[in-house]
Amino acid sequence: MSVGSLGAGSGLDLESLVKQMVSAQKDVKVKLYQDKIDGYEAELSALGKVGSAIDSFKSAVEALKDDELFTGRDAKIAQPEGEESIAITTDNTASNGSYAIDVNQLAKGSRVMSAPGTFSSADDVVTPKNAELTFKAGKHEFTLDVKAGTTLSELRNLINTSEDNFGVSANLVDDGNGNLFFTATSSIQGSGNTLKIINTSVVTDEQGNLVVPEEEPPVEDEPIEEDLPVEEDVVPEEQPETPVDETDELDLPGDEFDYANDGPIPEDDAPEVEEDTLDANETPIVEETTEDDPVEEDLEDQEADPTAIAANTSTSMLDSLSTEGAFAGMYTPMGEQARDAIITVDGIQIRNDTNTFDGAVAGLSIEALSETDKTTKVDISFDQQTVQDTIEEFIASYNDLVSLLQTSSDKGAVLNGNSMVRNLQSSLSTQLMTSHGNTSTFTSIFDLGVKMDNQGMLSFNSGKFNEAMKRGYSEIAPLISGENGLAESLNNLLSSYTGSGGMTNSLKDSVRRSIDSTEGTLEAYEDRMVKYETSLRSKFTSLDSRLADMNAQGGYLNSVLAKM
């Protein structure tokens, strides 16, 4: 025993005595309080699990209560798995029936490319001056500012990274023979949406002045014969018939075949027509070909006009990346034009600028996936499978709740004897047994293939359910999701148990208050025990001191008596 501990003066183990006295007074009662708290906490946990199960079951009930559950449509498509040609989604406006659908053509975007020999390297400069390229596909459009000295590779990056780009992808393809092809692909589908690239640069001369092309003077219209005065009662003299050469719009100067007269045109007799000699309303004037070369005259005119040379130089390089204009260098390969999707529904051909046909058939959205070589049959009917799945989910959730209620309220269980649990179990069974919907065909959910065993658990018979669907699909909705249906009745019942003001939360709040109260009582008792221990120590310290004095006096007397 250490010096200074309780009992050091008397030599008695007073420390152990104090602890034993406090423990005898405290331990049993503290355990009672703690057991009570543990019981409350177990009850609170059990109520939490019951509350969660009720919430889950209420969600299943609300799914049955959904008005659209029995108005949905199901599309059954006769096509092999993995070889789907169409996909169909329906809404509740779709009519039940069968459709024969063919996919004649898929919609696609377009692709343009540069002519062979136009470019040889990704470092080819596309313009010596600041310029603009405009990209169009139908109503979609964006314009790029192309700085002087931009290379083909840099232009590709400009296109692909433009924030205004509506879906144009540029690329460079090398054929390995010294030809580099610039390609641009547009994602915009539909006929008439083929990609166009236009050089919209402002043309300037060497001094930077704007070059505006001269406008041709307007041609005055000649008076129409109907407006001329008509002389009445004038009989024209008969004129001798003259042979008239048949002409055809396909007969052009220089053709090797005369379409009108079905014979070759002699080379010596093929006339040349100069467009400059034509007046707006006159017949062509045929002149003999001179020895002077008109191309050489045009070159002489350009040499005399520096403005034309400057304009030509500033735009000709960028024209090689255009699809429009006389000097365009980009073209659309055969079969790469944007096109519509085409489907045939019951013999009626339908076009659309995308592969998704919304509203072409009322209540259906048809997506064309691949072209077909034979007709695909589609059957639209009530969505019976969804109704069955929803009822099965309801049954599973109901069984989970009932099983938990039984486990929690069994003999010796935490919620044994709990009135809320007993009332809920009884009310659920009653609601299922009660007639709902006021229909002549069905009276309860048990008429739809649902069965209850002697333990209160539900099971589902899909065969009986299918028979019930055939007997009266339209009467199932009032029974289950109608105003007076099963789902509405169960929802009203469960609403009194759920939510912040429901019985489950009210009961949990009551248990929490009991826990708080018991913990407060235990804390107060432990405080009293501390004071009790302090009182004992004070008394035993005083006792120890007196015993020590008595021991000292006894020792003194013993020593005196020993000397006598």
Determine the Cα–Cα distance for residues 7 and 20; give it in Å rounded to an integer.
Answer: 15
Determine the Cα–Cα distance for residues 292 and 274; give it in Å rounded to an integer.
Answer: 13
Its pTM stands at: 0.55
Q: What is the pLDDT of residue 264?
A: 45
Averaged pLDDT for residues 205-211: 53
What are the tens digits of pLDDT across the range 292-336? Answer: 444 444 444 444 444 444 444 444 578 899 999 888 999 999 999
Q: Classify residue 354: in a domain, yes or no.
A: yes
What are the tens digits of pLDDT across the range 492-538? Answer: 999 888 887 788 888 888 889 999 999 899 889 889 888 888 888 88
Strand partners, 364: 90
Residue pair 104/381 in contact by the 8 Å Cβ criterion: no
Residues 350 and 429 in one domain: no
Q: Classify residue 96: in a domain, yes or no.
A: yes
Alpha-helical regions (H) of 66-211: 152-161
Q: Classify residue 419: in a domain, yes or no.
A: yes
Residues 467 and 365 in one domain: no
Q: What is the pLDDT of residue 253?
A: 42
Q: Classify residue 141: in a domain, yes or no.
A: no
Q: What is the pLDDT of residue 11?
A: 62
Residues 489 and 410 in one domain: yes
Averaged pLDDT for residues 233-239: 47
Residues 411 and 423 in one domain: yes
Of the two residues 342 and 42, the one the predictor is more confident about is 342
Report the SS3 class of residue 417.
Answer: coil
Residues 402 and 422 in one domain: yes
> Which of 324, 359, 382 represents a domain boundary (last residue)?
382
What letter does residue 481 receive in the DSSP assignment? Answer: T
Residue 443 has pLDDT above 60, yes or no: yes
Report the SS3 class of residue 343.
Answer: strand
Determine the Cα–Cα distance for residues 26 and 5; give it in Å rounded to an integer.
Answer: 23
Residue pair 185/169 in contact by the 8 Å Cβ criterion: yes
At a CB cut-off of 8 Å and minimum separation 6, what does 522 contact? Answer: 30, 33, 34, 37
Q: What is the pLDDT of residue 227?
A: 43
Q: Classify residue 457: in a domain, yes or no.
A: yes
Residues 496 and 444 in one domain: yes
Residue pair 463/388 in contact by the 8 Å Cβ criterion: no
Into how many domains does the chain fold?
2
The two three-digit tokens of residue 307, written as one number: 């403005």
Q: Which helix (H) or strand (E) holds 306?
A: helix 306-319
The confidence band for 338, taking pLDDT boundaries of 50, 70 and 90, is very high
Residues 491 and 412 in one domain: yes
Residue pair 301/317 in contact by the 8 Å Cβ criterion: no
Averaged pLDDT for residues 281-287: 42
Residues 431 and 494 in one domain: yes
Q: What is the pLDDT of residue 206?
A: 56
Q: Which helix (H) or strand (E) holds 52?
A: helix 14-65
Q: What is the pLDDT of residue 205?
A: 53
Residues 445 and 504 in one domain: yes
Q: What is the pLDDT of residue 189?
A: 96
Q: What is the pLDDT of residue 209?
A: 55
Q: Which residue has the tokens 């804390």?
A: 523
Cα four-point dihedral sign 255, 261, 263, 266: negative
Determine the Cα–Cα distance for residues 402 and 444; give it in Å rounded to an integer.
Answer: 19
Residue pair 121/131 in contact by the 8 Å Cβ criterion: no
Residue-range definition of the domain harbouring residue 414: 32-71+385-508
Q: Which residue has the tokens 């309220």?
A: 409
CA distances from 455 to 405, 449, 451 (A): 12, 18, 11
Q: Classify residue 22: in a domain, yes or no.
A: no
Look up residue 385 and give its amino acid.
Answer: Q
Residue 248 has pLDDT above 60, yes or no: no
Lowest mean pLDDT among 110-124, 256-270, 478-492: 256-270
Residue pair 250/259 in contact by the 8 Å Cβ criterion: yes
Q: What is the pLDDT of residue 192?
A: 93
At a CB cut-off of 8 Å and minimum separation 6, what does 39 contact? Answer: 414
> Which of 361, 382, 403 represents a domain boundary (last residue)?
382
Look up residue 185 and give its amino acid.
Answer: T
Determine the Cα–Cα distance for residues 117 and 120; give it in Å rounded to an integer.
Answer: 7
Determine the Cα–Cα distance for residues 16 and 3; give it in Å rounded to an integer.
Answer: 15
The confidence band for 413, taking pLDDT boundaries of 50, 70 and 90, is confident
Residues 415 and 469 in one domain: yes
Strands 168-174 and 180-186: antiparallel
Look up residue 184 and give its amino acid.
Answer: A
Look up residue 210 and give its amino acid.
Answer: L
Cα four-point dihedral sign 509, 510, 511, 512: positive
Residue pair 503/419 in contact by the 8 Å Cβ criterion: no
> Which of 326, 352, 382 represents a domain boundary (last residue)?
382
Q: What is the pLDDT of residue 7?
A: 62
Q: Taking the CA atoms of the chain, what radius of gyration do you get in angstroms?
A: 50
Of the two residues 5 and 105, the one the predictor is more confident about is 105
Q: Classify residue 164: in a domain, yes or no.
A: no
Residues 481 and 398 in one domain: yes
Averaged pLDDT for residues 341-350: 96
Q: Classify residue 132: in a domain, yes or no.
A: no
Residues 62 and 100 in one domain: no
At a CB cut-off of 8 Å and minimum separation 6, what does 441 contact? Answer: 447, 471, 472, 475
Picking from 356, 306, 305, 290, the residue whose alpha carbon sits closest to that of residue 107 is 356
